[in-house]
Amino acid sequence: MRTHTRGAPTVFFISLLWPLLAPAAAAAAAAEVDPSGGIPFMGGNYDGHPMLYFSRGDVEELQYAATGTHQDMARRIREAGETMLEHPEEYLPPWSPAEFSARWNEVYGNNLGVLSMFCLLYPHRAGALDLAKDYMERMAAQPSWLVKDAPWDEVPLAHSLVGFATAYDFLYEYLNKGQQERFLQVIGNASRHMYEKSYVRGWGFQYLHNHQPTNCVALLTGSLVYMTQGYLQEAYLWTKQVLSIMEKSMILLQDVTDGSLYEGVAYGTYTTRSLFQYMHLVQRHFAIGHFDHPWLLKHFAFMYRTILPGFQRTVAIADSNYNWFYGPESQLVFMDRYVLRNGSGNWLAELIHQNRVIEGPGQAGKGQRWCTLHTEFIWYDPNLIPKPPSDFGTPRLHYFEDWGVVTYGSALPADTNRSFLSFKSGKLGGRAIFDIVHKNKYKEWIKGWRNFNAGHEHPDQNSFTFAPNGVPFITEALYGPKYTLLNNAVLFGSATSGSCFKPWTGQVTEVCDSKWLRYKVGLAADAQGQVEAALERQGMVFIRGEGSSAYSPELKIRNFQRNLLLLHPQLLLLVDHIHLDPDSPTRAMSAFFHNTELPFQGTNIDSVHGAFVSHGEDRYKMFWMDDTGFSHKGVTGYWNYPHGYPYIGSNYVNVTMPLRYPHSRVAYIFFGPGVDVQSFSLRGDDQRVDIYLATKDHTYTIYLLTGEVTSKPLFAMVLQDHKKIVFEKTAAAVQTSPEEVEEYVNVMDDNLQHVKPVFQQMERHILGRVLNSASFRKTAERLLQFSDKKKTEEVIERMFAMSKKQGKGKGGKKVNLGEKLSESLPDLFAQIEVNEKKERQRTSKRTYEDSPEEGDADSRAFMDYPDGRKNRKGAFVKGRKFKEVHMVATVGSEGLSSTASYIRLFLLLNTGTFFLLLAVLLTRFQRGRSLHTQRCFYTILIIDCFILLYLYSSCSHTQC
């Protein structure tokens, strides 16, 4: 026996030590993506204002950074502040309520954030604080921050609230007592209004839409300020409501696997402006970490792969301007500091700022240009040296599989042959939202399209853009009416029901009499396109999309296939393949191509018609022809947008061509001044179409296989001079859909459990702070503001009597009277939550208010108060342990710190004991001792090992 066990101790103890080593290895791996982002959890322990993003003790450090590491951002903040000081009449809100509410007024809240940061960094700047106080007085004087003509839209109010509450937090110590109380009342009234409307407006239940984080972060900011001032019960309800909405969004966002946002880049920055603030705030105040979120890990690609050469414009898919509505420098430094940690975010932010358009198309809006400067300053990490991604400078093909968008040539310096190409063919709302709706996923929360809002999307399946040499040649038509003809897409002859431009029919989502896309019901609810291929081979790019499902079945279109071949950086071939059913009524197609700035002019060469735009001395040309050799003259013009849109219209060229049964092909070539096309022809059969192109430098023969069943497993083959390039079907885009997040209801409930302990800690601190002071009774009444009035009086009297007893504990140790008083209170938050839940259930049938944009939604689809341990069906979830919320504070948590110290001491002592016993066993008792003695030592070591694991777990929870 002794012979067989003599070699065992080494193996035995390696296996025994593995449980101790494994957590350390796991911790090292987790450190790469820290869910907290390194943001310390406050734990309900605040030393007054500021407290939202940083504490009072951090202000001096921020002021020091403004003269050193952050001086570039500080300079922009100072320029904004000085501009407002020089022209106060231009930037101060009006006193008149009629004037304040007469138009969209987000500018007032947006500018107040940067003004308050300016005052905080430069408190001695003459006139700055007076301007900020005057600014806040004017806003506080308004009876409402809503816009008169849009009383159903809380977004302008949200901008005002988040700016006003942020300024209140930053400048609290500079306000007099009257201003502190008055401004707090304004914040409370606005937050209360937002809270009430969160139950009846779309932003409370339409997930992943830009209104939702905008309004929720405003309410959260107001509630945090209100909480700090001791109004715990109301602030608790507001906070829980925000988190119950936003945590659902964060779970649903996990289905978006490519980091995109379906509303496009411009509105995407509207969403992330607030979404990133939300992530920061819930980690700092409630220890809810989202910095390892899979969508966030991919979001940099959405910013980087959508920028045109020159870093001034982006893909303008969906309602858009030329680039970004908000930021994006703030969002980029946020991602770098909390997610990327490689300098790429800082690098891109720096490059975008250097190339900013000061005047003309693409310049930042007056109402948005400054509103993210303060968060950019707060989130910037100067230790991350700006560094481009490893593939910078090389054109890359990128496929956003959820968004249904392909880009090529993004984020390059503007130069000859630095070209950009994009293509869109995807599911309405993106794959995640579309599949959630159609596959009945997340059915505890989602009741079809009513829980989403695709109103900002366009009827744009199988659309594209092209910018040879970085010059926008074929562009999106920006924020305009939702017509197919404004989206570089195709209309078909033969009018159907709902056609906007008879006898032509566009995509089923287009709408004739609204600013918003049709998406909720009917054929529109099922509209989709599909990217079938996105390949790059030897410097050439091939993209194919299928768009027939975006059109009415009445047209009997079996296939609408759009093929793009980038043969040269300045030469693009586009081929439309239309396969009709035998009884299809359509016999013509009409394609539109847009340029928002440069007008098209007609041209033709040898009966092949075309058009061109002039950019300086250069001409960018296009020609077209069908597979019979026919080329119809195009129509050029300017499409004027109706009043109410931010842009006045777009230049276009319209190409109408006949269709034949069973199939027709139309080819278009687009080229820049560096390419001289000398000949262009095509012919086809049932299986394929052959295109012949000759330029001054090369000849191209393209074999494009368009049949549903082809003789070879290819999409296309290109012969360039004597070189062959093949685009094989084996590399086709694979269509998949992610699985529903496991136990998603409980995941959200776990995060909501973080809220109550923070408010309970606040309750203890507030009571401890006002002991034996004149404000004790007033503070107690404020804490119990929404409790039963009769019981409140009894509780206050009992607390007041206890506060007079300055008792001492045993051994002369002071008793924490704040905690004792807190324990004597009823559970403030459970009581008000139960009351509120009953009230919402009672009024849910009559509280919904129609709005022009959200008139058929169902408020019951989102109204719930999570019940901790139960799912919506009322059954307990078996086999699941809910996360315990540990209150670890950065300051003022004596009890917890002492506990952590004891645990640390026992851990160190036990570790030493363990290794001492291990050494004794291996050196003294391995040989010459009885087997019984060795087993006793093994038993002692195993017990000690479990004690070590327990202490290690306790220490990790208390962050000791």
- Read off the pLDDT of residues 65-102 as tens digits, 9 standing for 90 and up: 999 999 999 999 999 999 999 999 999 999 999 999 99
Please check the confidence at residue 285 and state whether its pLDDT lies above 90. yes
Please check the confidence at residue 830 and state whether its pLDDT lies above 90. no
> What was the pLDDT predicted at 926?
57
Tell me the percentage of the chain whose pLDDT exceeds 70. Answer: 82
pLDDT, one tens digit per residue, over 881-926 is: 444 555 544 444 434 444 555 666 777 777 777 777 777 766 766 5
pLDDT, one tens digit per residue, over 347-377 is: 999 999 999 999 999 999 999 999 999 999 9
Work out the average pLDDT over 385-412. Answer: 97
Question: What is the Cα–Cα distance from 651 to 808, expressed in whole angstroms?
Answer: 82
> What was the pLDDT predicted at 823?
61
Work out the average pLDDT over 38-48. Answer: 94
Work out the average pLDDT over 710-733. Answer: 92
Measure the N-to-C terminal CA separation of the chain; round to a whole number of Å.
45
pLDDT, one tens digit per residue, over 415-471 is: 999 999 999 999 999 999 999 999 999 999 999 999 999 999 999 999 999 999 999
Each as own residue / partner, the long-range contacts of residues 936-942 (CB below 8 Å, 24 or more positions apart, any chain) are 938/12, 941/13, 941/16, 941/914, 941/917, 942/16
Instruction: Average the pLDDT over each of 124-128, 472-476, 705-709 and give the range with the smallest value.
Output: 705-709
Return mean pLDDT, the chain: 87
Work out the average pLDDT over 509-528. Answer: 95
Which residue(s) pair with 530 in the sheet? 546
Residue 180, CA distances (Å) to 133, 175, 599, 765, 785 in order: 11, 6, 56, 20, 20
644's torsion region: left (phi>0), alpha (psi -120 to 50) or beta? Answer: left
3-state SS class at 715: strand
> What was the pLDDT predicted at 804?
55
> What was the pLDDT predicted at 848?
43
Question: What is the Cα–Cα distance from 907 to 952, expressed in whole angstroms?
Answer: 7
Q: At what angle do helices 894-923 and 8-30 cross, to 10 degrees?
A: 150
Please check the confidence at residue 644 and state whether its pLDDT lies above 90. no
| Element spanning 636, H or E | strand 635-640
Residues taking part in catalysis = 211, 267, 479
Question: What is the Cα–Cα distance from 48 to 421, expressed in whole angstroms?
Answer: 52
Taking alpha carbons only, the member of 295, 298, 373 closest to residue 330 is: 373
Please check the confidence at residue 870 and state whether its pLDDT lies above 80. no
Q: Radius of gyration over alpha carbons of the chain, in Å?
A: 32
Q: At what angle do helices 776-783 and 789-803 cross, to 10 degrees?
A: 140
Whose structure tokens read 């705030």?
A: 281
Work out the average pLDDT over 626-654. Answer: 95
> What was the pLDDT predicted at 851?
46
Question: What is the Cα–Cα distance from 588 to 657, expressed in whole angstroms?
Answer: 6
| Element spanning 281, H or E | helix 264-286
> What was the pLDDT predicted at 18?
47
Please check the confidence at residue 938 and state whether its pLDDT lies above 90. no
> What was the pLDDT predicted at 877?
35
pLDDT, one tens digit per residue, over 3-39 is: 444 444 444 444 444 454 444 444 444 346 789 999 9
> What was the pLDDT predicted at 875?
35
Please check the confidence at residue 624 and state whether its pLDDT lies above 90. yes
The full DSSP string for 855-912 is TT--GGGT-----SSB-TTSPBPTT-PPPP-----SSS-HHHHHHHHHHHHHHHHHHH
> What was the pLDDT predicted at 874?
36
> What was the pLDDT predicted at 729?
92
For residue 870, what are its two tokens? 């139960």
Instruction: Average the pLDDT over each of 127-136, 456-465, 763-772, 782-791 and give the range with the smallest value.
Output: 782-791
pLDDT, one tens digit per residue, over 184-233 is: 999 999 999 999 999 999 999 999 999 999 999 999 999 999 999 999 99
Work out the average pLDDT over 601-612. Answer: 96
Instruction: Average the pLDDT over each of 48-57, 377-386, 692-701, 897-906 and give the range with the smallest value.
Output: 897-906
Confidence tier at 262 by pLDDT (50, 70, 90): very high
User: Bigger pLDDT: 345 or 823?
Assistant: 345
Tell me the whole-structure pTM to 2 decimals: 0.86
